[in-house]
Chains A and B, each alone.
Chain A
Amino acid sequence: MVLTRDGARATSNEQLATTMMNALLKVQNLRTYFFSKRSGRFIRAVDDVSFEMRPGETFGLVGESGSGKSVTALSVMGLVRDEPGVLAGRVLYQENGKSVNLLEGLPNYVKLEQRDAEVTRLSKDNTNWLKAHDVKMKPLRGRKFSMIFQNPKSSMNPYFTIGDQIIESVMWGCRKKREEAKKQAVDWLRRVYIDLPERRMQEYSFNLSGGMCQRAMIAMALACRPKLLIADEPTTGLDATIQSVIVDLLLELKRELKVAILLITHNIEVIGRLSDYIGVMYAGRIMESGPSDTVLKGRRTARNHPYTIGLLQSLPGEDQVKRGARLKAIAGDVPDVTDLPVGCKFYPRCALKTPRVDKKCKTQEPPVFKVGKGHTCRCWLYTTK
């Protein structure tokens, strides 16, 4: 059975069962919008996003700020609270051979009115949806799914000690008694290379450095051996040196615990070192997704997306070391999510569109094309015809 990574196409239930065979999490056609009161327009934060994760595998979501990475993660966790929020799609989670759609029943709460594939009007009963959804998600959060955030300092409670917070999460996550949880917490702090763990347990987050806080967060998130760890910009804002310490730690823990990691970052180096598969996000879409070495080739011949290619070429990489060289920047500005172009969302900045495809790019959004083994691209250049 060949696995297709664009689960979007799977339609019948039968097909679903087979494609789910060894997947842990499968996100299909996820769509999450917000509404900008100011401009009176939808913020299309996540639009038609599909990806798949297998146990123990790391899927890296890379993209510039505002491309919808965090919202994707929060949607999976059921933590999008603002209206209208999650509108469509499926989040399939499989454990012990049983697969459930975590977004089941969503269509009952949402009504969409569309014109030319663009939503013009929608209504949603968000309060009741969240209530229903929480019932399903609560037992999973902190037990099966856990999450770490950028800026660990602000995601830790400054009024409780680090120790209390880890113990708390262990007690909830592994259903442990306090004494046991405490022992486990100390073990975990040692495991993430925090010196003098007993002493550090007594400290407050504001007394720790950013790098140490992040390691404590990682300990807290992994202590109960979740199936899925969502790491949202775990190294952003930390210095390069500390960043690489955190990456090393995640690499080690991933190998040991066989936890699947949804890694979100805009840092290509971090993504490159950690991920098995990569999805490149732009304007709320996954433009390209595939095995990480394929995606990071960044070449037209490797059938990479023009955005990926531009991004990789704009970095001052190893081969760029020639002094005095200019960087190959992507032209244009980051997209405005309330006002996206009709066709390909990358069209205004794309340097690779050819006259052959130009018209199509401008007027039609490219679908997900399969361009290689487990490698997909949303680009008309790779139309299979």
Chain B
Amino acid sequence: MVKPILKIKNLSKHFALGRGLGGLSLGGEKLLKAVDGVSFEIARGEVLGLVGESGCGKTTTGKMIVRLLGPTAGQALFEGQDVQRIPRRGLSEFRGAVQMIFQDLDAALNPKMKVRDILAEAVRLGERHTKQSLAKRLRELFSMVNLKPSKLENYPTSLSGGEKRRVSLARVLARKPRLIIADEPLSALDLSIQAQVANLLKDLQKEYGLSFLLISHDLRMVELLSHRIAVMYLGRIVETASAAEIVRRPGHPYTSALWTSTVARKKGAKVVGQLRGDVFELERPDEGCVFRSRCAVYQKKGKPKQCRVGADPELRQVRKGHSVACHFPLGKGK
């Protein structure tokens, strides 16, 4: 068994929902469990897709992996080492090895700096260069992301969305990362550009054997780009399986609903297994399965007791490499 490049163990992040009054928080704070006991692994060269509705904790998970946030509990192990425990000396190496692509197209692009300077800054963090070798390296990075070298002299404001995304990708690649956390890399892009960038990500991944955590709410894109998929709901992983398996034989009612609501395109098509309401308008139950208020299976089975009491269901293997956190996984006998 090869050692995974990233191993997440029981990672949690709780935010205090303080009813702030003049900056002072009064007692009785409520906790928002943005991420709640998440575990998964990413093998070297693997793309793990993380999908779920907005607000389910995907970005928070990603930020904990790159050590922008500290977890409330649990660990993220990069190449066997707890990222929170990396000493100062090793930090710059870690920052190079694990990179994050942010959802905001402009996040990585200082509007006052030329693209050339933005990239040079990133390159210089890990490599020593003369003027000539730097220019060569920048051209190389640009060709990796299919951009014309003339764009190096542009300011970010004069770039289109697709170009911005490519530049931020080049900036990330400049650090020669081994693991990339890509937070919704496509969602801010135009329709016709999404496919271009998706292809680019795929090519880069293959060519350099990169490992990816691909965060998205678009199950279809994730399905296309990932090897394995983890589905997240309200801070918990509810299902993991290979990408092909998860769309062919979804185990969790939530995954199934997510998939069907994504692909219906026919005129007047009704979505089967429709979800009721949305995450936030329903009270989050303290007990039982957090998904039950929207769950079609729960309704159909007449609100069984298992779902109402006890802890949230744990991830259990239903098939080889396919785990589901549900008392009544779909496609497993009636």
Are A and B in direct contact (Cβ within 8 Å)?
Answer: yes
Interface status of B318 (Cβ within 8 A of chain A): no
Give bound CA distance, A310 to B244, whole Å.
25
Interface status of A2 (Cβ within 8 A of chain B): no
List B43-96 residues whose CB lies under 8 Å from chain A. Answer: 53-54
Q: A314-B195, A323-B244, A327-B195 are in contact. Are A211 and B267 (CB under 8 A)?
A: no
Interface status of A358 (Cβ within 8 A of chain B): no
Q: Whole-angstrom distance from the CB of A262 to the nearest CB of chain B?
A: 17
Q: A208-B281, A326-B199, A329-B196 are in contact. Are A65 and B264 (CB under 8 A)?
A: no
Q: Whole-angstrom distance from the CB of A205 to the nearest CB of chain B?
A: 13
Give bound CA distance, A225 to B221, whole Å.
39
Pair B257/A241 contact, Cβ less than 8 Å: yes
Pair A321/B265 contact, Cβ less than 8 Å: no
Pair B278/A212 contact, Cβ less than 8 Å: yes
Please pick, from A64, A209, A241, A266, the residue contacting B258 in the complex, using a CB distance under 8 A. A241
Pair B271/A318 contact, Cβ less than 8 Å: no
Of the listed stretches B15-23, B29-37, B157-165, chain A binds B157-165
Give bound CA distance, A248 to B260, whole Å.
13
Pair B274/A248 contact, Cβ less than 8 Å: yes
Please pick, from B161, B192, B220, the residue contacting A314 in the complex, using a CB distance under 8 A. B192
Interface status of A239 (Cβ within 8 A of chain B): yes
Q: How large is the interface on A (under 10, 10 to 19, 20 to 34, 35 or more residues)?
A: 35 or more
Give bound CA distance, A244 to B262, whole Å.
8
Q: A64-B191, A329-B195, A333-B162 are in contact. Are A212 and B223 (CB under 8 A)?
A: no
User: What string of 1s and 0s marks CB contacts (under 8 Å) between B96-134 and chain A?
Assistant: 000000000000000000000000000000000000000
Which residues of A have CB within 8 Å of B265? 268-269, 272-273, 296, 317
Which residues of A have CB within 8 Å of B278? 209-212, 239, 241-242, 245
Pair A321/B247 contact, Cβ less than 8 Å: yes
Give bound CA distance, A25 to B22, whole Å.
54
Interface status of B306 (Cβ within 8 A of chain A): no
Give bound CA distance, A268 to B195, whole Å.
14
Pair A334/B258 contact, Cβ less than 8 Å: no
Give bound CA distance, A256 to B53, whole Å.
30
User: What string of 1s and 0s marks CB contacts (under 8 Å) between B255-280 and chain A?
Assistant: 00110011111111111001101111
Pair A334/B281 contact, Cβ less than 8 Å: no
Please pick, from A245, A251, A272, A328, the residue contacting B195 in the complex, using a CB distance under 8 A. A328
Which residues of B have CB within 8 Å of A65? 190
Pair B223/A316 contact, Cβ less than 8 Å: yes
Chain B residue, CB-CB nearest to A326: B199
Q: Whole-angstrom distance from the CB of B164 to the nearest CB of chain A?
A: 11
Q: A209-B279, A243-B261 are in contact. Are A273 and B191 (CB under 8 A)?
A: no
Of listed A241, A244, A266, A333, residue having the most chain B CB within 10 A: A241
Which residues of A have CB within 8 Å of B243? 323
Interface status of B180 (Cβ within 8 A of chain A): no
Chain A residue, CB-CB nearest to B52: A239
User: What string of 1s and 0s marks CB contacts (under 8 Å) between A38-77 and chain B?
Assistant: 0000000000000000000000000011100000000000
Pair A326/B202 contact, Cβ less than 8 Å: yes
User: What string of 1s and 0s marks CB contacts (under 8 Å) between A212-249 and chain B?
Assistant: 10000000000000000000000000011111110010
Which residues of A have CB within 8 Å of B167? none
Give bound CA distance, A333 to B192, whole Å.
8
Pair A334/B53 contact, Cβ less than 8 Å: no
Give bound CA distance, A275 to B268, whole Å.
8
Interface status of A320 (Cβ within 8 A of chain B): yes
Pair B199/A329 contact, Cβ less than 8 Å: yes
Pair B263/A269 contact, Cβ less than 8 Å: yes
Interface status of B219 (Cβ within 8 A of chain A): yes
Pair B267/A314 contact, Cβ less than 8 Å: no
Chain B residue, CB-CB nearest to A320: B224
Give bound CA distance, A104 to B217, whole Å.
46
Pair A273/B268 contact, Cβ less than 8 Å: yes
Give bound CA distance, A241 to B265, whole Å.
14
Interface status of A1 (Cβ within 8 A of chain B): no
Interface status of B314 (Cβ within 8 A of chain A): no
Which residues of A have CB within 8 Å of B247? 321
List B197-248 residues whose CB lies under 8 Å from chain A. Answer: 198-199, 202, 217-221, 223-224, 243-244, 247
Interface status of A95 (Cβ within 8 A of chain B): no
Which residues of B have CB within 8 Å of A208? 281
Chain A residue, CB-CB nearest to B262: A240
Interface status of A140 (Cβ within 8 A of chain B): no
Interface status of B39 (Cβ within 8 A of chain A): no
Give bound CA distance, A296 to B281, whole Å.
35
User: What string of 1s and 0s marks CB contacts (under 8 Å) between A273-315 and chain B?
Assistant: 1111000000000000000110010000000000000110011
Pair B261/A327 contact, Cβ less than 8 Å: no
Pair B267/A209 contact, Cβ less than 8 Å: no
Interface status of A325 (Cβ within 8 A of chain B): yes
19 pairs, A vs B, C-beta closer than 8 Å: A195-B281, A208-B281, A209-B281, A210-B278, A212-B278, A212-B281, A240-B219, A241-B258, A248-B271, A269-B262, A272-B265, A273-B266, A311-B192, A316-B195, A316-B224, A328-B195, A329-B199, A333-B162, A334-B162
**9 pairs of A and B residues whose beta carbons are closest in the complex:** A329-B195, A314-B195, A244-B261, A327-B195, A209-B280, A239-B53, A272-B265, A211-B278, A330-B192
Residues of B within 8 A of A (CB): 53-54, 160-163, 190-196, 198-199, 202, 217-221, 223-224, 243-244, 247, 257-258, 261-271, 274-275, 277-281
Q: A268-B265, A272-B269, A327-B199 known; 19 other A-B pairs, CB under 8 Å?
A: A195-B277, A209-B280, A210-B278, A240-B218, A240-B219, A242-B53, A248-B271, A269-B263, A273-B266, A310-B192, A316-B220, A316-B223, A317-B220, A317-B263, A321-B223, A321-B247, A327-B224, A333-B160, A333-B162
